[in-house]
Amino acid sequence: MILVCPSCATRFNLDESRLGGQARRVRCSRCKHEWVQAPERAAEPAPPAVAPEVAPPPPPVEPPAPQASVAAEPASMSPLEPERPDLREMLPPALSADDPLAAPRRDGGGGAGVTIGWIALFLIVAVVLGALYIGRERVMQIWPPATQAYEMLGLVTLPPGAGLAIQDIATMTTQAEDGTPAVLSVKGRVANISRSTRRIPPLRASLRNAAGEEVRGWDFGLPRQMLEPGESVDFDTRLETPPAEALNLVVIFTPPPRR
230: left (phi over 0), alpha (psi -120 to 50) or beta: left
pTM for the structure as a whole: 0.42
Q: Which residue has the higher pLDDT, 130 or 102?
A: 130
| Shared-domain flag, residues 147 and 219 | no
Pairwise CA distance, residues 154 & 136, whole Å: 12
Q: In the predicted model, what is the mean pLDDT of residues 173-200?
A: 86
Which of 35-49, 94-108, 121-135, 211-225 is most confident?
A: 211-225
DSSP H or E stretch at residue 79: strand 78-79
| Shared-domain flag, residues 15 and 29 | yes
pLDDT of residue 78: 47
166 contact partners, CB below 8 Å, separation of at least 6: 188, 189, 190, 203, 251, 252, 253
With a pLDDT cut of 70, the percent of the chain lying above it is 61
Pairwise CA distance, residues 184 & 247, whole Å: 12
| Shared-domain flag, residues 152 and 168 | no
CATH of the domain at 215: 2.60.40.10
The structural domain count of the chain equals 3
| Shared-domain flag, residues 150 and 215 | no
Q: In the predicted model, what is the mean pLDDT of residues 68-95?
A: 44
Does residue 90 form part of some domain? no
**202, 219 Cβ separation under 8 angstroms:** yes
Q: In the predicted model, what is the mean pLDDT of residues 219-224?
A: 91
| Shared-domain flag, residues 199 and 219 | yes
Pairwise CA distance, residues 90 & 157, whole Å: 75
| Shared-domain flag, residues 137 and 186 | no
Does residue 54 form part of some domain? no
Residue-number span of the structural domain to which 245 is assigned: 164-253
Report how far apart, in Å, the C-alpha atoms of 72 and of each of 27, 67, 92, 189 are.
Answer: 10, 8, 36, 120
| Shared-domain flag, residues 233 and 196 | yes
β-pair partners for 232? 191
| Shared-domain flag, residues 233 and 153 | no
Does residue 246 form part of some domain? yes
**E strands along 193-231, which residues?**
198-199, 203-208, 214-220, 226-227
pLDDT of residue 220: 94
| Shared-domain flag, residues 200 and 171 | yes
Does residue 183 form part of some domain? yes
With a pLDDT cut of 90, the percent of the chain lying above it is 22
Pairwise CA distance, residues 160 & 107, whole Å: 61
Mean residue pLDDT across the chain: 74
pLDDT of residue 144: 64
Report whether pLDDT(72) > 80.
Answer: no
